[in-house]
A and B are shown apart, each in its own frame.
Chain A
Amino acid sequence: MSLVGPLLLATFLFCVGVYGLIARRNAVLVLISVEMMLVSVNINLVAFQNLLFPAEAAVSGQMFALFIIAVAAAEAGVGLAIILNLFRNRASVNVDDVDLMRW
């Protein structure tokens, strides 16, 4: 199996996430884009682990991917809680409206 395929897929997903991060205005959609960028990195880690170093004793690549999954889930929960709080206080989830601390 060729190594370039997974790496290119991960790059594509990451760049799609960057596009969504910049283009979207809804805070929940921005969070979705961030999730997509986080997940795409996992493909890289698994590809390097299973295609290049399949016999490594400490399963580093998959372990890092597991940790990233857990941290991303925690980030999604806290992020959605912040967005809900924002919606309650401002009646809007538009990221352009949140300029209280802008200078």
Chain B
Amino acid sequence: MTGHDVVFLLVALLTGGAALLTVTSKNLFHAALFLAVTLAGIAGTFLVMRADFLALVQLIVYVGSVAVLFLFGLMLTRAPIGREALDGQNRGLALVVSGTLFVVLSTLIISTFGGERAAEVAGPSIADIGISIFADWVLPFELLSMLLLAALIGAILLARREDGESGEPMPERRIELSDEPVTHAGAQELPAGDSKPELTAGGDR
């Protein structure tokens, strides 16, 4: 067990614990903040595996923007807080499905890669990554920029509130021009057409 393994174990424990708290937390905001901790922990595992560029991208994109986006989403939707409101009836089913999946996958991984050890951990440098993007991966890169543009426009179009499309119509406001307080009976007589002199009397000042 080398130093790499020890550091990785610590980071992995932090990440896994935060992930568990993310899906079991009773408070929505705590769940989103634990998600941020999980994503930062994943950036830490990238650092341990010598993927510096990816760790920084992970920090900027996920912790910096996606976690904040989720916080905004939670605040804008005013969801109720509490375990019964957040979790459905099928918690047992979820536990069975994910537990079975974890057991099957981990036994397969251990039986396949059980004794595999990397002699040295080495990643490509940032210069290598940059050259590779514009030499080998140009077309996917450009397609990705088109996808981001389409997603940006689509998100704006979906989230924009259009007038008269949703919600109640604006309540009609009536401006009273007279000084004296309008009594209830006077307001009811208004359709009869008798209150017009009052309006003109109040309006000549």
Q: Which residue of A lies closest to B81 (CB)?
A: A26
Chain A residues within 8 Å of B117, by CB? 1-3
Known contacts A16-B20, A62-B51, A74-B147; can you find 9 more A-B pairs with CB under 8 A? A8-B106, A18-B98, A27-B77, A40-B42, A52-B116, A63-B137, A69-B61, A80-B155, A81-B159
Are B49 and A11 in contact, CB atoms less than 8 angstroms apart?
no
Residues of B within 8 A of A24 (CB): 23, 86-88
A33 and B23 contact, Cβ closer than 8 Å, known pairs A8-B109, A62-B53:
yes
B74 at the interface (CB under 8 A from A): yes
> How many A-B contacts if CB must be within 8 Å?
259
Within 8 A of A (CB), among B91-129: 91, 93-95, 97-99, 101-102, 105-106, 109-110, 113-114, 116-118, 120-124, 128-129
How far, in Å, is A61 (CB) from chain B's closest CB? 9
State whether A28 and B154 are in contact (beta carbons under 8 Å apart), knowing that A23-B87, A23-B90, A54-B123 are contacts in the complex: no
**Shortest 8 CB-CB distances between A and B: which pairs?**
A20-B23, A22-B94, A74-B151, A81-B158, A51-B118, A23-B94, A19-B98, A81-B159
User: Size of chain B's interface in residues, with CB distance under 8 A?
Assistant: 90
Are the C-beta atoms of A67 and B144 separated by less than 8 Å?
yes
With A and B bound together, what is the CA distance between A72 and B58 in angstroms? Answer: 11
**Binary interface encoding of chain A residues 19-50 relative to chain B, with 1 for a CB under 8 A from any of its CBs, else 0:** 11111111111011101100110110011011
Could you tell me the distance in whole angstroms from the C-beta of B168 to the nearest C-beta in chain A?
12
Evaluate contact between A19 and B95: CB separation under 8 angstroms. yes
Residue of B nearest to A13 (CB): B19
The reply on B54 being an interface residue by CB < 8 A is yes
Is B133 interfacial (CB-CB < 8 Å)?
A: yes
Bound CA span A81–B165, Å: 16
A76–B148 Cα gap in the complex (Å)? Answer: 11
CB closest residue in chain A, given B150:
A74
Which residues from chain A contact B54 at a C-beta distance below 8 Å? 42, 46, 62, 65-66, 69
**B100, chain A: closest CB distance, angstroms:** 9
Considering the complex, give the chain B residue whose CB is closest to the CB of A89.
Answer: B166
A8, A22, A52, A65: which contacts B93 (Cβ < 8 A)?
A22
User: Is A77 within 8 A of B151, CB to CB?
Assistant: yes
Q: Is the CB of B8 within 8 A of A5?
A: yes
11 pairs of residues in contact across A and B, judged by CB atoms under 8 Å: A23-B90, A28-B79, A32-B31, A32-B70, A49-B51, A69-B54, A70-B147, A73-B62, A75-B151, A78-B155, A82-B158
